[in-house]
Amino acid sequence: MSQIYYSEAGCVVPTLCEELTDYRRARKVLHLPATSEPATLFVLARPYPSSELPLRVSVNGTEVPGPDPDSWDFYGWHEISVPPSLVVAGANVFEFWTDAHAMNAWSLAIENGHRDPESFVSTDRGTTWRNDKMGYLNVSRGEYVVRVRLAEGADPAPPSMVWEDPVAPRLERLRRMLPSDVLRAGPTLSRVRALTTWVCTRWEYRCVGGVYAPWDAETIMAWGRATRGHDDREPIVMCVHYAVTLVSCCMAAGIPARCAIFTGTMNGHNGHFTAEVWLDEFDRWVMVDPTLDAILFEDGVPLSVREIQRAGSDLTALVEWGPGYDFQVKNPFIGPWIRNTFLNGVCFRHRSLWPRTDFLTHPELTPGWHGSTSYCETSLVWEIADLEQGFAMFPYFGEQEYFDAAPQGFSVQKPIDQRM
């Protein structure tokens, strides 16, 4: 057993993070019990590819070996071992800096929006500290994404799924946008196939851009079609957004659905974001990919995530593509990604769930820029085996029963032709 300690949710906007130099230093305070085993410090940070300087780290005033730079070009997780003698019962102070004079060595991730954070920045080599006017532009206030796992203790049980309010006005508006064959009575699988194709073809996949589309289905579709979003910049509308849109549309159509998040490795570019839909006629959660308009089958039965994970390194014969595939595969990124990451099963090695679907009624609980850093949101629920496979910076891990359980507390709206 072990326990993670943290004070942020991992909602990082990478364009508003902290730069570390010799003069500009960061401090994070975490309240911990004493420990008799080495602690693991997890730091979400980005080294500049051209930098040769290590990240310097101290724990309660004693410097410990920090990570050397690597070739990553994004915010990833770095693990640092901390001797148990340096951890004290109560407030523990972790400080970070580099030997650079310019802001071109290391950046430290920050989650903005905290009223009185226990994270601080110094611009005079640690003589004075402030917990406002943070980030490289001195406009942020938040918590640095720094966590500690101790051998003692236990993580909390994973949360129950929170469903969208079926009578929410915005959900009713979304319902009126859906194709009629999705809303009419019939086998759930047929309705889902129609809905997946519809979502897949609303806009063209775009994983680079100036702004990240929020988890708001109507906004995602509008920004995606126009290729313009906030501040008139080109939006990022990628696999995350297809899945979020599909889940919200399923909520509107009275179909239980949830977001499924995958990765081949923690600090890699081999992740994916899809959905899982509950099919009553098969009594199971089925993986549905609205980015590619794909569902996997074996002997006519749609496959669950666990079955896909067990299928091996060649999924080609199992995939049934919908019409949306031809719409998306023209994208120069999509074709190679399907061959190198999807069909060989790499992206499905590790799975997690986002335990909420109320994106429209509670937008403040959705993350920003998910997928633009290594996965870091603490709401993600991973499989229990992943705790020992490089995912120990997260607090929630579920047994297989958690992922397989039928939807509880879901309020089903009748199909439209039964409400006339």
Q: For 329-367, what is each residue's pLDDT tens digit?
A: 999 999 999 999 999 999 999 999 999 999 999 999 999
Q: Coil, strand or helix: which one is 401? A: helix
Q: What is the pLDDT of residue 412?
A: 58
Q: What is the pLDDT of residue 415?
A: 44
Q: 122 phi and psi, to 5 degrees?
A: -125, 140
DSSP 3-state percent helix, strand, coil across the chain (nearest 5): 25, 30, 50
Q: State whether 109 and 206 are in the same domain.
A: no
* Residue (of 391, 373, 406, 387) closest to 240 by Cα position: 373
Please count the residues of the chain: 420
Q: State whether 146 and 232 are in the same domain.
A: no
Q: What is the pLDDT of residue 291?
A: 98
Q: What angle do CA 258, 307, 297 make, to 5 degrees?
A: 85
* Residue (of 8, 3, 7, 21) closest to 102 by Cα position: 21
pTM: predicted TM-score of the whole model, two decimal places: 0.95
Q: What angle do CA 49, 54, 60 make, to 5 degrees?
A: 140
Its domain, for residue 36, covers 3-150
Q: State whether 120 and 252 are in the same domain.
A: no
Q: State whether 24 and 62 are in the same domain.
A: yes
Q: State whether 338 and 288 are in the same domain.
A: yes
Q: 211 phi and psi, to 5 degrees?
A: -140, 150
157 belongs to a structural domain? no
299 belongs to a structural domain? yes
Q: Greatest CA separation found in the chain?
A: 71
Name residues of the chain where pLDDT drops below 70. 412-420
Q: Integer distance in angstroms from the first to the last C-alpha of the chain?
A: 55
Q: State whether 306 and 268 are in the same domain.
A: yes
Q: What is the pLDDT of residue 184?
A: 87
Q: What is the pLDDT of residue 71?
A: 74
Domains: count for the chain:
2
93 belongs to a structural domain? yes
The dihedral sign for the CA sequence 382, 387, 391, 393: positive
Q: State whether 23 and 126 are in the same domain.
A: yes
159 belongs to a structural domain? no
- Which strand (E) or helix (H) includes residue 172? helix 169-177
Q: State whether 194 and 127 are in the same domain.
A: no
Burial of 43 (0-12, 13-18, 19+ CB in 10 A): buried
CATH number, position 65: 2.60.120.1200
160 belongs to a structural domain? no
Domain boundary among 87, 120, 150: 150
Q: State whether 352 and 384 are in the same domain.
A: yes
Q: What is the pLDDT of residue 210?
A: 85
Q: State whether 185 and 142 are in the same domain.
A: no
Are 114 and 12 a contacting pair, CB within 8 Å?
no
Strand positions, DSSP E, 178-256: 211-212, 235-236
Q: State whether 72 and 209 are in the same domain.
A: no
Q: What is the pLDDT of residue 106?
A: 97
